[in-house]
């Protein structure tokens, strides 16, 4: 019976899954670090709270955002860019927690990217119904650097497209503790998140938090 139970355990260890030539899903890779990450994240949000940024077109983004690290991704009527200060406080963003730096470095190395040292961590907060429309991440200086993302809380369906907006997308389930590494030719693929389904996660409640670690500068 034990084997069967394990097979159906949603958090049983799984092998890395290549979802593209240079894109790897590491299921549950962050689980051992979650306990250390949550207090660090609470500290970040205490000094730089989640906010709804405006798109350059003037629409309010549904997903709440904040940042930690030397640089933070911001959006307003002027456009998208990285800023060393939080526009809400005019102070530097909270420091990147060591636990995130370590996790991102280890995940990137497993995917074949040695010496990844992110200077920016975008923190996205989704509530049920929130989605992220198809986009590319192209506000960073060096596209040869990978991106590492960590999913926490409610599960989501991630959409992975191609290099043009109208190419077909594949759906990838992302769960609490999953880590994704994107590099090489996959780095500039279109991607998005379907509307979050209602639910309650035992650790985070009715939220999904996604951390995206990048070398932006």
Which residue from 22, 176, 191, 215 is in contact with ligand MD3, where contact means CB under 6 A?
191
Q: Is 165 annotated as a binding residue?
A: yes
How far is C-alpha 198 from the geometric centre of its chain's CA atoms?
A: 20
Query: Phi and psi for 203 in degrees, rounded to 5?
Result: -95, -45
**Which among 50-58, 93-101, 110-118, 183-191 is the span making contact with ligand MD3, rule CB under 6 A?**
183-191
Q: Is 147 annotated as a binding residue?
A: no
Q: Is 132 annotated as a binding residue?
A: no
Cβ partners under 8 Å of residue 140, min gap 6: 82, 120, 214, 215, 216
Burial (CB count within 10 angstroms: exposed 0-12, middle 13-18, buried 19+), residue 153: buried
Q: Does 24 bind ligand MD3 (CB under 6 A)?
A: no
Which residue from 68, 159, 181, 193 is in contact with ligand MD3, where contact means CB under 6 A?
193
Closest residue to ligand MD3 using C-beta atoms: 210
Q: Does 66 bind ligand MD3 (CB under 6 A)?
A: no
The option from Fe ion, ligand MD3, none interacting with 145 (CB < 5 to 8 A, set by class) reads none
The option from Fe ion, ligand MD3, none interacting with 147 (CB < 5 to 8 A, set by class) reads ligand MD3
Q: Does 113 bind ligand MD3 (CB under 6 A)?
A: no
Q: Is 82 annotated as a binding residue?
A: yes
Q: Does 210 bind ligand MD3 (CB under 6 A)?
A: yes
The option from ligand MD3, Fe ion, none interacting with 214 (CB < 5 to 8 A, set by class) reads none
Contact string 70-109 vs ligand MD3 (x = CB under 6 A)? ----------------------------------------
Annotated binding site for 2-oxoglutarate: 124-126, 208-214
Residues that bind ligand MD3 (CB under 6 A): 122, 124, 132, 137, 147, 149, 158, 180, 182, 186-187, 189, 191, 193, 210, 212
């Amino acid at each position: 019976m034990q084997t069967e139970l394990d097979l159906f355990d949603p958090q049983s260890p799984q092998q890395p899954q290549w979802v593209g030539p240079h894109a790897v899903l590491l299921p549950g890779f962050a689980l051992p670090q979650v306990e250390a990450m949550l207090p660090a994240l609470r500290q970040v949000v205490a000094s730089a709270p989640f906010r709804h940024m405006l798109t350059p077109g003037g629409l309010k983004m549904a997903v709440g955002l904040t940042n930690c690290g030397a640089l933070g991704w911001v959006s307003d009527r002027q456009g998208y860019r990285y800023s060393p200060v939080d526009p809400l406080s005019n102070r530097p963003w909270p420091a990147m927690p060591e636990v995130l730096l370590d996790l991102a470095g280890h995940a990137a190395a497993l995917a074949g990217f040695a010496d990844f040292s992110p200077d920016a961590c975008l923190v996205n907060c989704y509530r049920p119904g929130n989605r992220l429309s198809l986009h590319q991440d192209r506000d960073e200086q060096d596209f040869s650097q990978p991106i590492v993302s960590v999913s926490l809380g409610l599960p989501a369906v991630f959409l992975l497209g191609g290099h043009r907006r109208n190419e077909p997308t594949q759906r990838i389930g992302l769960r609490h503790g999953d880590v994704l590494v994107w590099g090489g030719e996959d780095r500039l693929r279109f991607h998005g998140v379907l509307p979050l389904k209602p639910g309650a996660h035992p650790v985070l409640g009715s939220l999904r938090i996604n951390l995206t670690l990048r070398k932006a500068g």
